[in-house]
Amino acid sequence: DETSSFVYSADGKTLHVVAPASTLAEIKMPFNEIAPYAAYKAANLVNIDFGAECQTWGDYCLAETGVKTLSLSGTIGRYVAKGSALESLTVDHAEVPFGVAMDCKNLTDVKFLKGITVVKQDAFNGCSSLATLDLGKLLAILEANCFANSGIKTLNVGAAVPALSLI
């Protein structure tokens, strides 16, 4: 039974923890919330399917996992997929979250479903395989190190030159 490798709330709405040493490779349950650090370092976890119900993503909730594809919406914490095996990321939010894909060295595909206004600190820091990024026409702020150590060669911004934040 796959559910013996993780702990979730009695109502089945919140994923609390995935055992880091678990051999669990996939979770398919309609969670509304992923708690902070829920699957932190669960390296064997490569596929998640929470449906469209998941609207709260805790800090570091999928950091250092084997997850390759991720779609985020709702409330998105810091460093959600930091250091994971992420290859494809879809963000349905006006802000690119703080460190969302930091150190995701395999990330090559990023899609934004809404106009991006802010790229938070460390968002794509260390994404060495990410060569192109289209930020749309609404961009206003690029925070410190949002593209540091990335492989970005083409950055498409249709807005006027955004403000740089060195916080």
Residues in the chain: 167
Q: What 3-state class would DSSP assign to 103?
A: coil
pTM (2 d.p.): 0.91
The answer on pLDDT for 165 being more than 80 is: no
User: Which one-letter DSSP state was computed for residue 2?
Assistant: G
The answer on pLDDT for 1 being more than 70 is: no
Q: What 3-state class would DSSP assign to 52?
A: helix
Read off the pLDDT band of 146 (50, 70, 90): very high
**Token match 């992420």: residue?**
86
Q: Each residue of 47-63: pLDDT tens digit?
A: 999 878 899 999 999 99
* CA neighbours closer than 13 Å in the CB half-sphere of residue 98: 8
Distances (CA, A) of 147 to 51, 103, 124, 150: 30, 11, 5, 6
pLDDT of residue 139: 86
> What is the amino acid identity at position 124?
F
The pLDDT mean for the chain works out to 91
**Cβ neighbours for 69, distance < 8 A, ≥ 6 positions apart:** 47, 86, 87, 88, 89
Q: Each residue of 117-131: pLDDT tens digit?
A: 999 999 999 999 999
pLDDT of residue 85: 98
> What is the amino acid identity at position 158?
G
The whole-angstrom separation of Cα 29 and Cα 85 is 21
Q: Each residue of 18-35: pLDDT tens digit?
A: 988 888 899 998 999 999
The H or E element that residue 112 is part of is strand 109-112
